[in-house]
Amino acid sequence: MDNQLPQTNIPEPASTDAKTLTSKPELSKKERRELKRQERRAVQMSEKRGSTMRRVLIWVIALLAVGGSAAGVYYLAITSTPDETNKNGTLIDTVSSADWIRGNSASPVMLVEYGDFQCPACAQYYPVVKALEQEFAADTQFIFRHFPLTRPHPNAKGAAAAAEAAGIQGKFWEMHDILFERQNEWAAKPRPQSTFNSYAEELGLDVKKFEDDMDRDDIEEKIDAHFKSGSASNVDSTPTFFLNGKKLQSPKSLDEFRALLTEAIAESKTVTNEPSAN
């Protein structure tokens, strides 16, 4: 479940106008030393305030992650427009070649996840889904769609764009995995672009192209389309999963998730093996 996070601006060291300095009368050595001491103290105080604000921000993230999902649900209520005729939570947009798919793309069994890369709960589910992918890759399609909650998670949409930009160069899933595995590295940063660039470089991407592609209109439109389809499908928290088009109450363990997939696969094989009527 997702949580509301207050936005915090970390102060930057004050700048000094060079023209103003050059216009002052020449100072004595003692005065210059005192001036330098004052400048160092000002910088240290600014850095100390910035460090304190960062620590406060990290604590706020941790407390809100534990606190529950009320803020996230409220945010969804005021920013998305769920389809009131779809109260049972049926997947609106069918899976297509435009989706990112892992596993067997020809399988009738489809697990769709609406996720937010900055969401702590999504990061907790990530290893569970990864284990399922490895176990059921031959019998299941695993699909990821973006549902960035930009108010509580200001870096979520940028992370989604980073994954899509990596996808243009054939590395969507590799970036997807890094973003979840290293969520703590970039989630709280006020400007995580350099971190995203370092991931792109690590994956062997053209970093300049990667950074340019993150600003492409079609990527933003795709992320927005995913969000709208999730809202229409009554996504009310992240992550939200749909198994063969039906919304799941988030399984509480790997075993519970495994049982659901095993049942769906068995049902699909039963339908496939049924004789057709003459």
pLDDT tens for each residue of 145-196: 999 999 999 999 999 999 999 999 999 999 999 999 999 999 999 999 999 9
Closest-CA residue to 130 (of 102, 106, 169): 102
Q: Which residue carries 């991407």 as its tokens?
A: 205
Give the torsion sign (CA, 54, 240, 131, 178).
negative
Its pTM stands at: 0.69
Quickly count: other Cβ atoms within 10 Å of residue 123's Cβ. Answer: 21
- Rounded to whole angstroms, how far apart are CA atoms 14 and 39? 10
Half-sphere exposure of 66 (CA within 13 A, CB side): 5
Q: CB–CB of 214/161 below 8 Å?
A: yes
CATH of segment(s) 100-271: 3.40.30.10
Tell me the HSE value of 126 on the side-chain side, using a 13 A CA sphere.
19
Walk along the chain (278 residues) and give the pLDDT tens digit of each residue.
444 333 333 333 333 343 333 344 566 656 666 665 666 566 556 555 665 566 655 554 544 544 444 444 444 433 444 445 556 679 998 899 899 999 999 999 999 999 999 999 999 999 999 999 999 999 999 999 999 999 999 999 999 999 999 999 999 999 999 999 999 999 999 999 999 999 999 999 999 999 999 999 999 999 999 999 999 999 989 999 999 999 999 899 999 999 999 999 999 988 766 555 44
Query: What residues contact residue 40 under an 8 Å CB cut-off, 6+ apart?
Result: none
* AA letter at 152: P
The number of angstroms, rounded, from the C-alpha of 15 to the middle of its chain's C-alpha atoms is 34
pLDDT digits (tens, 9 = 90+) for 74-93: 444 334 444 455 566 799 98
Using a 10 angstrom Cβ sphere, with 0-12 exposed, 13-18 middle and 19 or more buried, the burial of residue 207 is middle
Q: How many residues does the chain have?
A: 278
CA angle 119, 121, 123 (to 5 degrees): 75
